[in-house]
Amino acid sequence: MVYWEGTHKDFHWFEVVSGYQLCLYTLIDDLPDLFLSKYLCISHFDGGEFAPTNKEVEIGWKKEEEIAYSPKLTNDILNGPICDNYDQWYLFENPTEIPSVESYVNYENFSLQEDLEEWSELQKSFWSHIESINPDIFYLRRCKINICI
């Protein structure tokens, strides 16, 4: 597995670049405490919007603008069809509404690796966005690259 890791202010990040796909279901199975009892905001699901089903709405999911908000996460919710490729997630200890989101999931080769000059402006925008929202965990998954903060 090839990965990069680093820090930015109080944020620690980990980016898998090859040799291993860090699927959300694998993370959920291997590290359930990262997710259980937290609140999830999904801004991108398979590159677009996540639309909760009627059943999901009945158990507490809601959607405002382009963001879907979960009730407190349980194993049942986490084992549902809530992730795919090109996902962008924000997790919080408490219910949190995000005023707006920037899309980073659809930039195919976007990376947090510091010496990639072609991404320096987008990295500045990314970190400004993350600092303003301040999630406990941010997860970005594309076909080849995964970023977890």
Question: Mind giving me the DSSP string for 18-86?
Answer: ES----HHHHHHH-GGGTTT-EEEEEEBTTB-----HHHHHTT-EEETTEEE-SS--HHHHTSS---SS
Domain ranges of the chain: 24-99+116-148
pLDDT in tens, 62-112: 999 899 999 999 988 887 777 777 788 899 999 999 988 888 888 877 778
Per-residue pLDDT tens digits for 100-146 = 888 888 887 777 877 667 677 888 888 999 999 999 988 887 755 56
Residue whose pair of structure tokens reads 């597995």 in the numeric block: 1
Q: Give the integer Cα–Cα distance in Å for 50 and 32.
A: 22
pLDDT digits (tens, 9 = 90+) for 14-47: 887 665 566 677 777 888 888 889 999 988 888 7
Rounded-to-integer distance, Cα 45 and Cα 84, Å: 6
